[in-house]
């Protein structure tokens, strides 16, 4: 399932990154999984960002700065307090650093990849997220101004981070494969000019991109591996066959129609 956060300030994104993705104090941080981050997007490629996400480049992008030269690409807007049409007082975010789409795998995918130990399903999930983000990127729009209509640029810069457990509940962190993708608030026009994103376009097609993610996951290698490696027992349990040929029985974690 794909969900997209409300716009986050630079401080929120940096704090979130430090607390959830790179700190040993994070609720579901694992030393052997901390390297599962990756740059994505055409703008990231233009700037030479590839491989694992670097903290310095990440922090600069949250401030609307070029990840290498530190040149200011997006002008900061001061926070404003105003009254909306319903008479409610609203305070805007000082600088919209970006948004956090979260791709959460179905239970059957999580169990096959994590409990069953099938790295091919984990890789297939990453590929499904890559494809869905690529489709989302196609509809990226640049904010031109209050008078002119947004311009479709079809490119952004994003940083993806993978987790393999849900947040702990009563000390227990259940297996849950999911990927956060921070989309930064900057895009590049055909003439090379950088602009802030028009967020409305992202939210308008989020449901469609969720369908792309689910279809890619079901029809691609992950779906095939899940169908081959799981079955429903008479007692309503899901049997996940591990890479070594042994089975791990988990009580009714997914409905029979999901695998």
Across 65-74, 178-187, 192-201, 247-256, least confident range: 247-256
Residue 252: how many other CB atoms lie within 10 Å: 12
Q: What is the mean pLDDT of the chain?
A: 75
Say what the pLDDT of residue 25 is.
Answer: 52
Q: Are 126 and 179 in contact (CB under 8 A)?
A: yes
pLDDT exceeds cutoff 60 at 146: yes
Joined together, the tokens standing for residue 254 give: 């997914």
Position 39 scores a pLDDT of 96
pLDDT band at 156, cuts 50/70/90? very high
pLDDT value for 234: 43
Residue 204 is assigned to a structural domain of this protein: yes
Q: Which of 29-43, 93-107, 221-235 has the lowest mean pLDDT?
A: 221-235
User: In this prediction, what percent of the chain has a pLDDT beyond 90?
Assistant: 23
- In the chain, the number of structural domains is 1
Contact between 60 and 66 (Cβ < 8 Å): yes
249: in domain? no
For residue 21, being part of any structural domain is answered with yes
* Cα distance between residue 157 and residue 10, in whole Å: 15
User: What is the distance between the alpha carbons of residues 228 and 248, in angstroms, rounded to a whole number?
Assistant: 15
Separation CA 182–CA 249 (nearest Å)? 35
This prediction's pTM = 0.74
Tell me which residue of 121, 161, 157 sits closest to 137, measured CA to CA: 157
Q: Render pLDDT for 197-244 as a digit per residue (tens, 0 to 9).
A: 987 767 665 565 567 777 777 776 656 665 655 544 444 444 444 444
The number of C-alpha atoms within 13 Å of 141 and in the hemisphere containing its C-beta is 15
Q: Which of 13-27, 92-106, 194-208 has the lowest mean pLDDT?
A: 13-27
- Assess if residue 101 is contained within a domain: yes
78 is a domain residue: yes
Does residue 49 lie in a domain region?
A: yes
Average pLDDT in the 146-163 region?
89
- Answer yes or no: are the C-beta atoms of 97 and 63 closer than 8 Å: yes
Q: Which of 98-102, 118-122, 241-245, 252-256 has the lowest mean pLDDT?
A: 252-256
Q: Is residue 163 part of a domain?
A: yes
What is the model's pLDDT at position 21? 62
State whether residue 251 is helix, strand or coil.
strand
Domain coverage including residue 127: 2-230
Asked if residue 245 belongs to a domain, the reply is: no
CA torsion sign for 188, 191, 192, 194 is negative
């Amino acid at each position: 399932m794909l969900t997209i956060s409300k716009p986050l300030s630079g401080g929120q994104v940096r704090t979130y990154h430090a607390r959830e993705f790179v700190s040993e104090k994070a609720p579901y941080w694992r030393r052997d999984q901390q390297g599962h981050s990756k740059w994505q997007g055409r703008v990231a490629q233009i700037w030479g960002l590839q491989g694992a996400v670097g903290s310095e480049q990440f922090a600069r992008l949250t401030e609307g700065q070029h990840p290498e030269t530190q040149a200011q690409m997006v002008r900061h807007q001061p926070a404003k307090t105003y009254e909306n049409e319903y008479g409610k007082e609203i305070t805007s975010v000082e600088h919209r650093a970006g948004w956090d789409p979260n791709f959460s795998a179905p239970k059957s995918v999580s169990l096959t990849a994590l409990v069953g130990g099938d790295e091919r399903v984990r890789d297939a999930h990453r590929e499904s997220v890559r494809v869905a983000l690529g489709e989302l990127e196609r509809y990226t729009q640049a904010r031109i101004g209050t008078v002119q209509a947004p311009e479709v640029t079809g490119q952004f810069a994003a940083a993806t981070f993978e987790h393999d457990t849900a947040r702990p509940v009563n000390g227990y962190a259940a297996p849950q494969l999911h990927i956060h993708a921070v989309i930064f608030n900057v895009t590049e026009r055909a003439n090379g000019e950088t602009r802030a994103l028009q967020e409305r376009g992202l939210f308008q097609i989020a449901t469609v991109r969720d369908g792309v993610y689910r279809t890619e996951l079901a029809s691609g290698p992950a779906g095939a591996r899940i169908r081959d490696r799981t079955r429903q027992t008479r007692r309503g349990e899901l049997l996940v066959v591990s890479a070594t040929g042994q089975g791990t029985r988990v009580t009714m974690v997914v409905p029979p129609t999901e695998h």
